[in-house]
Chains A and B, each alone.
Chain A
Amino acid sequence: MSAGRRRPRAVSVLTHAFLVLFSLATIYPILQIVTVSLRPTDSLYSTSLALIPKNATLHAYWAILFEKQFLVWMRNSALVSLSVTVFGVVLASTAAYAFSRFRFLGWRLGLYSFLLTQLFPATMLMLPLYVLMKALHLLDTFAGLTIAYTATALPFCVWTMRGYYDTIPVELEQAALIDGCGPWTAFTRITLPLAAPALTITALFSFMSAWSEFLVARIVVSSLDLYTLPLGLESLAGVFQTEWANYAAGSLLVCVPVMALFVILNRWLVSGLSLGGVKG
């Protein structure tokens, strides 16, 4: 994008002033996590605003990794999130392709029913799923958690994928079909590779929605062995007095990879979102 004319100096200064102000407000809470995680256990009650606390220590990181159940929570979260990702990508990539390339009986109804699910208050799905899972003895299992997460992630994934397929020229597949290729081969060999950005978004979205989910996990999971990261970290945050530094250290370990991934994939994410989610 071209820079255009040079702006008056005052406008430029004011622009930077606002950007710095908002950036500070944005990163302060994140820095706060760093600060708290470095606090020694005897100064958790601190009224200091220093970014690096006095007698800073990495003890909380050691404690969270080796004394708490943190690694178990992480394994549980990874297991559930990966299952949700596999289901989300497989189910959404095929169904969305049907919606993009074919018009069939119930096309509109099917497509809009996915959209309609976004209108439901989460409890409208949570409560009946909970009652049904209780009846089927699926409560307190990873299967139950995976089912609930896939159900909530799927509609968004289908819409994103379908929006992206719509932007891929159909002539490519038509040419392949004329050359004697079957529709399934045309889909898997031509369209699917071209849809890599949308597949990434779908995978990432499914993974993240499960990785960071708290309220469903809270009702489905009850035994400590099956705690996912959000449940575990919340249990630490609840004990403000003693565990605050451990909570902060654990949060940071969870946050940093997620945020790095998000920032790296940001450009794809935005194009996937605006193509799939918004233009529809």
Chain B
Amino acid sequence: MNATIRAPRSFPYLLLLPAMAAMLLVVLFPLVYNFYLAFRNMSLYHFTDHRFVGLDQFREIFSQPVFYVLFGKSLLWTVVNVSLHLAIGLFLAVLLAGPVRGRAFYRTLLILPWAMPQYISALTWRGMFNYEYGAVNLILQRLHLPAVPWLSDPVWAFVAPVIVNVWLGFPFMMVVSLGALTAIPHDLYEAAELDGASAWHKFRHVTWPQILPVLTPAVLLGTIWTFNSMVVIWLVSQQGRPADQTHIMVTWIYKVAFAYYRYSYAAAFSVVVFLILLGFVVFTLRRTTPLESKT
């Protein structure tokens, strides 16, 4: 298909000018500046008299065990969240794609967590995780289960934001899956039924190959968003409580930058996170081409 139209040579550039000027000024320039900061020693104490220190910041990052712990936690956070988002979202989409009475009603209820501002979800859940008066422990007690120290034990204080993030993240995958499921032509199923395929076979050989091209970019995006998401952990664990033990890499960078004022260290850490993500995406795109489905 010839997707272009005839216009003066300068026309597309004129259209691009405002957005590109904005991007250069408020995105590209700050990003370059971040790389610059990563090789200096800017902090609250050296805010104006910072100097070039080469790879010192990176050396410090890689020489401390905290980096490896945070890297592991970031991976754990991302893998657990994205797999649960996908599993729950796909499961509910399959249920809703069938002939279910009240489908629109269920669908509306189930997307509400996506509609709710994330900070309100996080703050509300934090209240619900309160040891004595929070709804979660009260329900556990009614079920004769022991109360859980959600916000004071380092392990549970990490589980709590995971629960919140799973809660607010599955509707996106559900909606994406539902869209993909309803777009599958019906005759494919009819053909499979004529061949005597079981329900599992139909899912495995008709549904799955049809929804995979839609799910792959959604999962890729979801992975990047989750890896980079800060607000849930930050608010549920109240800035990393107890004692900065609930951080993943990005929340740690935020804390180091804006609570401990170690600007250059934080800038260097951001660069490391960016390179990790870039590596992940390049690796994934080499194997699949989710964004090139159309040229």
What's the count of A-B pairs with C-beta under 8 Å? 291
A103 touching B132, Cβ below 8 Å: no
Write out the residue numbers on chain A whose beta carbons fall within 8 Å of the beta carbon of B6.
174, 177, 183
In the complex where A15-B100, A91-B19, A230-B119 touch, is A117 in contact with B27 (Cβ < 8 A)?
yes
Quick one: which of B8, B26, B110 contacts A150, CB cutoff 8 A? B26
Whole-angstrom distance between the Cβ of A86 and the nearest chain B Cβ: 12
CB neighbors of B among A61-97 (8 A) = 87, 90-92, 94-95, 97
With an 8 A cutoff between CB atoms, is A137 at the interface? no
CB neighbors of B among A169-215 (8 A) = 170, 173-174, 177, 183-184, 186-187, 208, 211-212, 214-215
B34 touching A128, Cβ below 8 Å: yes
Quick one: which of A32, A122, A125, A184 contacts B124, CB cutoff 8 A? A32
With an 8 A cutoff between CB atoms, is A132 at the interface? yes
Roughly how many angstroms separate A125 CA and B267 CA in the complex, as a whole number?
9
Write out the residue numbers on chain A whose beta carbons fall within 8 Å of the beta carbon of B273.
121, 123-124
Q: Mark A89-124, 1 if CB is under 8 A from B, else 0.
A: 011101101111111100000100111011111111
Whole-angstrom distance between the Cβ of A11 and the nearest chain B Cβ: 8
B179 touching A274, Cβ below 8 Å: yes
In the complex where A23-B109, A259-B116 touch, is A277 in contact with B214 (Cβ < 8 A)?
no
Quick one: which of B176, B224, B292 contacts A274, CB cutoff 8 A? B176
Closest to B97 in A: A1
Main secondary structure of the interface of A (DSSP, over half): helix
CB neighbors of A among B231-270 (8 A) = 231, 234-235, 249-250, 253-254, 257-258, 263, 266-267, 269-270
Roughly how many angstroms separate A150 CA and B25 CA in the complex, as a whole number?
11
Write out the residue numbers on chain A whose beta carbons fall within 8 Å of the beta carbon of B109.
23, 26-27
Roughly how many angstroms separate A49 CA and B291 CA in the complex, as a whole number?
48
Whole-angstrom distance between the Cβ of B3 and the nearest chain A Cβ: 6
Query: Which of B65-73, B75-83, B274-282 lines the interface with chain A?
Result: B274-282
Quick one: which of B110, B125, B180 contacts A23, CB cutoff 8 A? B110
Roughly how many angstroms separate A258 CA and B115 CA in the complex, as a whole number?
7
With an 8 A cutoff between CB atoms, is B217 at the interface? yes
A15 touching B98, Cβ below 8 Å: yes
B95 touching A19, Cβ below 8 Å: yes
With an 8 A cutoff between CB atoms, is B13 at the interface? yes
B16 touching A26, Cβ below 8 Å: no
Whole-angstrom distance between the Cβ of B16 and the nearest chain A Cβ: 5
A128 touching B30, Cβ below 8 Å: yes
A170 touching B5, Cβ below 8 Å: yes
Chain B's interface size range is 35 or more
Quick one: which of A6, A12, A233 contacts B120, CB cutoff 8 A? A233
Write out the residue numbers on chain B whose beta carbons fall within 8 Å of the beta carbon of A25.
167
Whole-angstrom distance between the Cβ of A241 and the nearest chain B Cβ: 10
With an 8 A cutoff between CB atoms, is B159 at the interface? no
With an 8 A cutoff between CB atoms, is B148 at the interface? no
B108 touching A263, Cβ below 8 Å: yes
B123 touching A251, Cβ below 8 Å: yes
With an 8 A cutoff between CB atoms, is B113 at the interface? yes
Quick one: which of B5, B15, B20, B291 contacts A280, CB cutoff 8 A? B291
In the complex where A45-B133, A170-B5, A215-B231 touch, is A127 in contact with B124 (Cβ < 8 A)?
no
With an 8 A cutoff between CB atoms, is A30 at the interface? yes
Write out the residue numbers on chain A whose beta carbons fall within 8 Å of the beta carbon of B96.
19
B95 touching A18, Cβ below 8 Å: yes
Question: What are 18 A-B pairs at a CB distance below 8 A?
Answer: A16-B101, A26-B113, A92-B19, A99-B16, A101-B3, A102-B12, A104-B13, A110-B16, A124-B270, A125-B34, A131-B33, A151-B27, A170-B4, A183-B5, A214-B231, A237-B123, A240-B127, A277-B221
Q: Which residues of B contact A (CB under 8 A)?
A: 1-8, 11-13, 15-16, 18-20, 22-23, 26-27, 29-31, 33-34, 37, 42, 88, 91-92, 95-96, 98-101, 106, 108-121, 123-128, 130, 132-133, 135, 138-139, 142, 167, 175-176, 179-180, 182, 186, 189, 214, 217-218, 221, 224, 228, 230-231, 234-235, 249-250, 253-254, 257-258, 263, 266-267, 269-271, 273-274, 277-278, 281, 291-294
- Which 3 pairs show the lowest CB-CB distances between chains A and B? A95-B19, A212-B117, A262-B115
Since A154-B27, A215-B230 are in contact, a sample of 13 more A-B pairs with Cβ atoms closer than 8 Å, ordered by chain A residue number, is A15-B95, A19-B106, A45-B133, A98-B16, A119-B224, A127-B34, A129-B30, A150-B26, A215-B254, A262-B111, A266-B111, A277-B217, A280-B217
